[in-house]
Amino acid sequence: MKESNPNDFLIEVQPLGGFDKPLSYSISKDLRHEIKVGSLVKIPLGARKLLGIVWSLKGNKPNETTQIRNIISLIHKVPVLSPDLTNLASWIANYYACSIESCLEAMIPKAVRDGMQPKKRRLVRLADSSKDYSQLTKRAPAQFSAIEFLRSQKEPVPSSTVLSKIKTSQNTIRSLVKKGIILESEENIDRVVYEDEYLDANEQIVHNLQLTSEQKKAVSEINEDLESRQFKTRLLCGVTGSGKTEVYFEAMQMALNQGGTILFLVPEVALAPQTVSRIRSRFKNEKIVVWHSHLASGERADAWRSIINEESKIVVGARSAIFAPLPKLRLLIVDEEHEAAYKQEDNPRYHARDIAVVRAKLNDATCLLGSATPSLESALNVQKEKYQTSKLSKRVDNRELPLIHLVDMRREADKTKVLPILSQQLVEALRDRISNKEQSILFLNRRGFNTTMLCPECGHVESCKDCSIALTYHRTDGYLRCHLCGYRKPAPNRCKKCNSFDLKKKGHGTQRIEDIVIGLLPKHASVRRVDADMMTKKNLFRETLSDFRKGKIDVLVGTQMIAKGLDFPKVTLVGVIDADLPLRMEDFRASERAFQMLVQVSGRAGRGNRAGEVFIQTYAPHSPSIQFARKSDLKGFTEDEMDMRKEFGYPPYQHLIRHLFRSRSESKVEYYANEWAKILENKNIAGLKIKGPAPAPLEKIKGYYRFHFFYFTASVKKTIKNLGLIRSEFPLDPDVHDILDVDAQQIG
Ligand code: ADP
Ligand code: ZN
Ligand code: ZN
């Protein structure tokens, strides 16, 4: 072991790989000013050499602690993490009950963790361009041509260029370098991540808009937040088409003026092509990094480097971009903050919106959350005055919100005795649009996990009294089950409410709807479908949206993924085929999701000069979320839904932690879930409400059987700590695994 010097300086390093705690190391005096919190270093650990992140700087090393080892080397001059990110990693590990290592894996791209260097190219130039080399003409004609070519160049050129121009080999260059006639240098090449792959040539982006008075007010409120240089969170609550993006831009300009950097989060980059191109065209002089899942590892490493080197001041991306190591972070924007897509469903299971708030706090920065349909979590934070709020209540140019029709599908069912897919009204409206050369969108919902029971006569849904969620039907045993508390009862033959016999359930894919629509419309109408499968084919998806914008498609059929933030001015009709599906889902957020979906979807209609019309097909026209959505009554919906959440102690009043057990063995997973339940009962943890065990809605995934518990608590950190202690004394069978999901969004 290397003997360390008493003058050495003590630091803590978090190893990458295999150790979940920072360890002490020392550094020699000469590295003292080069090593910073967040630096990537190489360390000895046992017999291994590992990379690690400098976690903290401790001070001079006391003489007696001689067993502390020196680091091996400093890998990057510039820290790979900004100091706030090391704090954030610790925070996430504590709150989400995950390892620091999993946080660092999420934070630092693999290419960087592997110590990857930028791609370089060799440049060559003439050492002395005034010298005459004509004596080489005969002896070494290739060398002479190379020299003459370089003489004609003003700047150093890549050696590959020389080779291709004079058709010679590396040897020529090598011998000239040896002789000192030409000089070599190296240059990093950026694998281009700034190029605008999204900008659509046909897209017109208007600059220098005259802000509306509401926009001006919001901008000045946000400017005050920024000027205070204190941690602030503001919810920008603006109806669809109210011009939230312009407000973001003004705030971004202000943050840039302050010398700060900006993080702009969107739920899914592929769904925000317009936002990305608008940001690019508005901030033309900025190198903007678009951080998304399709980046190749080299591109990712380069993007990363341009961020830590402070070349890029604006990063746009989906949830994982929340970890972009921007120094001097002044502003974090979370667009469509209500989107469940911000929750990471793998370790670390963080919520990017909540992390944005924490990160703003660590930087004394401003966090701006925007939505037309804010999450109840954010709404409650506004009530508690943890967040400030700004409102945009009108569409720009006073464009009207679309006219919303509810189509009562129970009546449609009467006529034919089979559940129809499209109502007569919607079909007529579609035909109308075709003859007027206007565009339409038809929305279809994601199906629930299982079959729930809906009465087509009266719209009644069988639900659990204790949990207020829809019960699901299990074909195997004919029982209805609650997936929160485990309650079950035999499925009824008749509707409990109206006594009808006909409790049937049906779902339809986008493909089916597309076929039906094609059959109902004149031949010349162009109908296209976008669905989840298409998302994997990035270009196909983009081309379809672009064709739609150009008017090449009359009717677009898709799931609610096309509802997010897209702006198609020529759309005058939106049809929602099955508004009830989210309501029937076995999730206490079903109403919230249904309301958000309906408002967002309706927001796609009438964004141009022509007014829009929306048809919502439903079997439950009386249900509150549908009624509130029809009136675009956000306040009414929020109050109503908050009451329910409060009564049942659901989020946002309490945090929800989901505890999932899984195993290939059904009997083992059930046994251990029940054993765990007994232990919890004995321990009787104060302030913790427990539901379960119950089979998860998706009882079996990829051969794994799944059971879960739901914990409701006011304090996540306390609960995680308590559960951790109890859990450490509860040995699980090696075939059974468990996962904690803090602030769980998905309960399938
Ligand atoms: P939101 O995100 O609130 O739904 P957008 O920011 O997409 O709305 O704005 C909707 C449309 O209104 C965009 O085409 C935008 O260019 C335009 N717009 C925004 N602000 C103004 C304004 N002050 N005057 C005129 N048009 C505006
Ligand atoms: Zn009924
Ligand atoms: Zn229940």
Question: Which overall architecture, per CATH, does domain 224-397 show?
Answer: 3-Layer(aba) Sandwich (3.40)
- Of the two residues 118 and 488, the one the predictor is more confident about is 488
Burial 346-374 (b: 16+ CB within 10 A, else e): ebbbbbbbbbbbbbbbbbebbbbbbbbbb
Contacts of residue 297, defined as CB under 8 A and 6 or more positions apart, other chains included, come to 109, 110, 111, 116
Inform me whether the pLDDT recorded for 746 exceeds 90: no
Q: Give SS3 for 252.
A: helix
pLDDT (0 to 100) of residue 577: 87
Residue 332, classed as helix, strand or coil, is: strand
Question: d(Cα 421, Cα 328) in Å, to the nearest integer?
Answer: 54
**The pLDDT value given to residue 382:** 98
Confidence of residue 193 (pLDDT cuts 50, 70, 90): very low
Q: Does the domain made of 655-742 have the CATH classification 3.30.9.10? A: no
Q: Is the CB of 215 under 6 A from ligand 1?
A: yes
Nearest to 423 by CA among 362, 513, 543: 513
Q: Which of 167-176, 528-537, 643-652, 666-675 has the lowest mean pLDDT?
A: 528-537
Does the beta carbon of 275 sit less than 6 angstroms from any atom of ligand 1?
no
Q: Measured at the alpha carbon of residue 328, what is the angle toward residues 324 and 329, in degrees to the nearest 5?
A: 55
Looking at residue 503, its pLDDT comes to 61
Residue 211 Cβ contacting ligand 1 at under 6 Å: yes
Return the ligand number nearest the Cα of 410.
2
CB of residue 336 inside a 6 A radius of ligand 1: no
Instruction: State the pLDDT at residue 1.
Output: 45
Average pLDDT over residues 640-662: 95
Residue 189's pLDDT is what? 65
**CATH code for residues 403-449+508-645:** 3.40.50.300
| Atom 15, ligand 1: residue with shortest CA distance | 243
Give how far Cα 401 sits from Cα of 51, 603, 610, Å: 56, 7, 11
Ligand nearest to the Cα of 453, by number:
2
Nearest residue to 556 via CA among 666, 652, 440: 440
User: What's the length of the chain?
Assistant: 748
Give the integer Cα–Cα distance in Å for 87 and 453: 48
Written as one string, the DSSP assignment of 354-413 is HHHHHHHHHTT-EEEEEESS--HHHHHHHHTTSSEEEEE-S-GGGPPPPEEEEEEHHHHH
> Side by side, which strands form the sheet with 9-15?
23-27, 9-15, 48-60, 40-45, 73-74
- Picking from 211, 315, 313, 299, the residue whose alpha carbon sits closest to that of residue 264 is 315
| pLDDT, tens only, 407-435 | 998 887 665 555 578 899 999 999 999 99
Question: Residue 611 pLDDT more than 80?
Answer: no
pLDDT at site 469:
78
CATH number of 9-113: 3.40.1440.60
Same fold, 224-397 and 655-742: no
- What span, in angstroms and rounded, lies between the C-alpha atoms of 422 and 407? 10
Confidence (pTM): 0.84
pLDDT tens for 313-367 read 999 999 999 999 999 999 999 999 999 999 999 999 999 999 999 999 999 999 9
Instruction: Give me ligand 1 centre to Cα 241, in Å.
Output: 6
How high is the mean pLDDT of the chain?
A: 86
Alpha helices in 34-158 (DSSP H): 83-95, 100-107, 110-113, 136-139, 141-151
Query: What pLDDT sits at residue 366?
Result: 98
Using one digit for the tens of pLDDT, what is the confidence trace for 85-116? 999 999 999 999 999 989 998 898 887 777 65
Which tens digit of pLDDT belongs to each residue from 552-599?
A: 999 999 876 677 656 788 889 999 988 876 666 678 898 998 899 889
C-beta atoms surrounding 116 within 10 Å: 17
pLDDT for 509 equals: 64
* Whether the Cβ atoms of residue 92 and residue 103 lie closer than 8 Å to each other: yes
Check if 290 has its Cβ closer than 6 Å to any atom of ligand 1.
no
Residue 76 has pLDDT above 70, yes or no: yes
Specify the residue with its C-alpha closest to ligand 1, atom 20. Answer: 243
For 10-69, write each residue's pLDDT tens digit.
999 999 877 778 899 999 888 888 999 999 899 999 888 888 999 999 887 766 656 789
User: Please, which pLDDT band fits residue 536 given cuts at 50, 70 and 90?
Assistant: low
Average pLDDT over residues 270-299: 84
| pLDDT at res. 31 | 87
State both tokens at 324. 């972009």
pLDDT at residue 504, rounded to an integer: 54
Position 431 scores a pLDDT of 95
Fold of 120-188: Arc Repressor Mutant, subunit A (1.10.10)
Terminal CA-to-CA distance of the chain, rounded, Å? 52
Ligand nearest to the CA of 487: 3
Contact 739, 659 (CB under 8 A): yes
Cβ of 212 less than 6 Å from ligand 1: yes
- Closest residue by Cα to atom 23, ligand 1, is 211
Residue 335 CA, closest ligand 1 atom number? 2
List pLDDT tens digits, range 688-729.
999 999 998 888 878 899 999 999 999 999 999 999 999 999
For residue 644, pLDDT over 60 is answered with yes
Residue boundaries of the structural domains of the chain: 9-113, 120-188, 224-397, 403-449+508-645, 655-742
Does the beta carbon of 606 sit less than 6 angstroms from any atom of ligand 1?
no
| Mean pLDDT of all residues in 244-249 | 96
Name the residue with the closest Cα to ligand 1, atom 12: 243
